[in-house]
């Protein structure tokens, strides 16, 4: 009986808050605060230097300035232009991500479970993977036109490989002991897939998904650079042609902010799904 | 009924070379027996266990379990190994529930049996914990509840307590004996620890070094219920241990010489 109580103590279920615990929490809080303050200061420093340098050290034609970029973004927001372009970019990114990741996931599991299929296709997959996906963009424009479909295709093709390769690696990585014991307790192949392979590969898959979201955005924007009539990539490309650096920076800032927001959201999803890792 | 191993051999082919892991084994294990396999590493004792579990095919011969030929994964056994077989991504309760869910047991029945076994292995209050949050001993209890919850006729255990410290090992042995004494399931228990084998089993099978074969089968005439903390100080224990050790020691030495 006493051993059981000790075991319970070992995992902290009977822990009572002590002064040391309170001090630890306070220390953690102080550290978080210091990081936050540091981040804000770095941001202010970058904007200040940029603003100061513009027109004094470097021609505003090249680097614009934070105040101009801010004004431009504000104008785009109130006129609805920002959302008009951003929405199409986000839409193409989301669809490309959804298609690329689900197809990549299915193929990753399939190849991971059937070694012979994987061995047969291996050289072709490697070859296609080695092609920079950007080089496929012109082809996709010929196939799918200058509308949203070609942007979806570019981002889907990039996302596919990232998710496929991660899912494949995750599926190969499954502990055979789990497979055996699940089979012995009566599990069918489908049960093993559902209760063992997919959850086991999940951390690899989630890593793949996390990495591929920014890639999906990149794919869409590249598609928009090449030919489009809407989207943030289109705005940047058009402004570049007009030497309108303020709009170029406004577009870049928008992409940066969107990318950061998506990353934070994904981090939360990851923490929730991989809670078992403790 | 029970387990019947008939002329079983195991040969592996690796890099185009065939090696024999287990040579001609005949063994009868009656229903309700607690049999321990001991032997040096690589003697094929785990291989034989895995063949009974149906996850490793025999090269020749056949194995009957409860009158049926074992052809693939044997669904009438509970299988527990030294490694953690509980799924780390599910909570304690979901892990114990998993075999019942797979076998389509009704929801109420499942809830009742899971609670029952969690109680019997002393895990009440830890239903919602993940395995990573538990100690090694508690994870073993989860694994034990998981194999017992679906009530297989036989337990196959491959050094299940090998990774635990000495005290915890004795504690788990006591739990296992208690469960065996109440359920009278057939148990096949692989270990390299001779004291553990003598403490638990009513019959010990000693394997020779590679290629493995059965060297000695010995009944352990110690009365149950046994207390793992005390049984080792009984004079009969010492005599049995010494006799088995005489059979085992040269095999271990042989393995070390290679």
CA-CA distance, B124 to A243, in Å (whole number)?
70
CA-based nearest distance B219→chain A, Å: 29
Residues of B within 8 A of A187 (CB-CB) are 102
Question: CA dihedral defined by B63, B67, B73, B79, rounded to 10 degrees?
Answer: -90
Q: Which pair of tokens denotes residue A1?
A: 């009986």
Q: Is the pLDDT of residue A257 over 80?
A: yes
Closest CB to A195: pick one of B53, B73, B87.
B87
Residues of A within 8 A of B77 (CB-CB) are 184
A116-130, A146-160, A263-277, B163-177: least confident range: A263-277
| Mutate which: B56, B102, B141, vs A, most A CBs within 10 A | B102
Q: Within 10 A of A264 (CB to CB), how many other CB atoms are there? A: 9
Size of interface A-B (CB pairs under 8 A): 84
- Nearest chain A alpha carbon to B74: A184
Q: Is the pLDDT of residue A154 over 50?
A: yes
Dump the DSSP string for A190-203: HHHIIIIIHHHHHH
CA-based nearest distance A89→chain B, Å: 36
- Give the pLDDT of residue B257: 59
**Long-range contact set of residues A206-210: C-beta below 8 Å, sequence gap at least 24:** A206/A269, A206/A270, A206/A273, A206/A274, A207/A166, A208/A101, A208/A104, A208/A162, A208/A163, A208/A165, A208/A166, A208/A167, A209/A101, A209/A163, A209/A266, A210/A263, A210/A266, A210/A267, A210/A270
A7 touches chain B (CB under 8 A): yes
Check if the beta carbon of residue A107 is closer than 8 Å to that of residue A97: no
A273 touches chain B (CB under 8 A): no
Q: Which pair of tokens denotes residue B244?
A: 């088995």
- Tell me if B135 and A7 make a contact (CB, 8 A cut-off): yes
Closest CB to A177: pick one of B81, B129, B168.
B81
Alpha carbon separation from A201 to A192, A270, B84 (Å, rounded):
12, 13, 18
- Give the pLDDT of residue B5: 92
Q: Which of residues 197-226 of B touch A (CB under 8 A)?
A: none
Closest CB to B98: pick one of A3, A185, A188.
A185
Q: Is the pLDDT of residue B215 over 70?
A: yes
Per-residue pLDDT of A39-71, as tens digits, reads: 999 999 999 999 999 989 998 889 999 999 999
B168 touches chain A (CB under 8 A): yes
CA-based nearest distance A265→chain B, Å: 22
**Residue range B37-56: average pLDDT?**
90
Per-residue pLDDT of B92-124, as tens digits, reads: 999 999 999 999 999 999 999 999 999 988 899
B245 touches chain A (CB under 8 A): no
> Which residues on neighbouring strands pair with residue B158, listed in sequence order?
B81, B190
A190 touches chain B (CB under 8 A): no
- Tell me if A278 and B132 make a contact (CB, 8 A cut-off): yes
A8 pLDDT band, cuts 50/70/90, is: very low
A202 touches chain B (CB under 8 A): yes
A172 touches chain B (CB under 8 A): no
A278 pLDDT band, cuts 50/70/90, is: low
> Which residues on neighbouring strands pair with residue B205, listed in sequence order?
B37, B217
Check if the beta carbon of residue B95 is closer than 8 Å to that of residue B84: no
Pairing relation of β-strands B34-38 and B186-190?
Answer: parallel
- Give the pLDDT of residue A3: 44
Determine the 3-state secondary structure of A185 from DSSP: coil
Predicted TM-score (pTM) above 0.80 = no
Residues of B within 8 A of A184 (CB-CB) are 53-55, 73-75, 77-79
A180 touches chain B (CB under 8 A): yes
B237 touches chain A (CB under 8 A): no
Check if the beta carbon of residue B22 is closer than 8 Å to that of residue B9: yes
Q: Is the pLDDT of residue B250 over 60?
A: yes
CA-CA distance, B87 to B81, in Å (whole number)?
13
**Residue range B158-172: average pLDDT?**
89
CA-CA distance, B155 to B8, in Å (whole number)?
20
């Amino acid at each position: 009986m006493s051993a059981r109580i000790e075991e319970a103590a070992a995992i902290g279920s009977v822990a009572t808050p002590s002064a040391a615990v309170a001090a630890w929490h306070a220390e953690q809080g102080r550290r978080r605060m210091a990081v936050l303050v540091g981040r804000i200061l770095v941001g202010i420093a970058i904007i200040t230097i940029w603003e100061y340098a513009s027109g004094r050290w470097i021609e505003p034609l090249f680097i614009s300035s934070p105040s101009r970029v801010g004004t431009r973004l504000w104008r785009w927001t109130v006129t609805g232009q920002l959302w008009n372009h951003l929405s199409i970019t986000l839409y193409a990114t989301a669809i490309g991500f959804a298609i690329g990741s689900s197809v990549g996931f299915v193929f990753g599991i399939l190849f991971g479970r059937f070694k012979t299929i994987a061995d047969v296709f291996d050289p072709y997959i490697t070859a296609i993977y080695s092609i920079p996906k950007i080089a496929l963009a012109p082809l996709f424009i010929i196939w799918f036109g200058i509308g949203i479909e070609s942007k979806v295709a570019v981002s889907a093709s990039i996302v596919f490989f990232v998710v496929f390769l991660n899912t494949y690696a995750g599926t190969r990585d499954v502990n055979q002991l789990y497979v055996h014991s699940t089979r012995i307790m009566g599990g069918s192949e489908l049960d093993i897939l559902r209760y063992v392979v997919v959850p086991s590969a999940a951390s690899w898959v989630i890593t793949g998904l996390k990495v591929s979201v920014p890639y999906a955005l990149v794919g869409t924007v590249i598609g928009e650079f090449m030919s489009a009539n809407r989207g943030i990539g289109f705005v940047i490309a058009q402004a570049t042609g007009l030497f309108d650096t303020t709009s170029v920076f406004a577009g870049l800032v928008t992409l940066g902010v969107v990318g950061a927001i998506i990353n934070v959201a994904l981090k939360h999803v990851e923490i929730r799904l991989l809670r078992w890792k403790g | 009924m029970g387990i019947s191993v008939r002329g079983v051999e195991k040969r592996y082919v690796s890099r185009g070379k065939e090696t024999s892991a287990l040579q001609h084994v005949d063994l009868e294990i009656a229903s309700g027996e607690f049999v321990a396999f001991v032997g040096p590493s690589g003697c094929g004792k785990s291989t034989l266990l895995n063949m009974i579990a149906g996850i490793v095919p025999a090269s020749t011969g056949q194995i009957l379990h409860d009158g049926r030929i074992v052809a693939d994964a044997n669904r009438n056994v509970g299988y527990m190994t030294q490694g953690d077989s509980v799924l780390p991504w599910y909570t304690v309760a979901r892990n114990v529930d998993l075999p019942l869910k797979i076998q389509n047991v009704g929801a109420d029945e499942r809830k009742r049996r899971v609670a029952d076994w969690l109680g019997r292995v002393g895990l009440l209050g830890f239903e919602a914990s993940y395995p990573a949050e538990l100690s090694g001993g508690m994870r073993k209890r989860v694994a034990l509840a998981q194999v017992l919850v679906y009530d297989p006729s036989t337990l196959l255990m491959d050094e299940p307590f090998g990774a635990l410290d000495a005290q915890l090992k004795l504690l788990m042995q006591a739990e296992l004996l208690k469960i065996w004494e109440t359920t009278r399931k057939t148990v096949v228990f692989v270990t390299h620890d001779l004291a553990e084998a003598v403490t638990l089993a009513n019959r010990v099978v000693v394997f020779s070094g590679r290629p493995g074969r059965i060297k000695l089968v010995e009944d352990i005439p110690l009365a149950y219920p046994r207390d793992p903390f005390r049984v080792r100080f009984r004079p009969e224990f010492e005599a049995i241990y010494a006799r088995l050790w005489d059979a085992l020691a040269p095999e271990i030495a042989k393995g070390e010489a290679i």
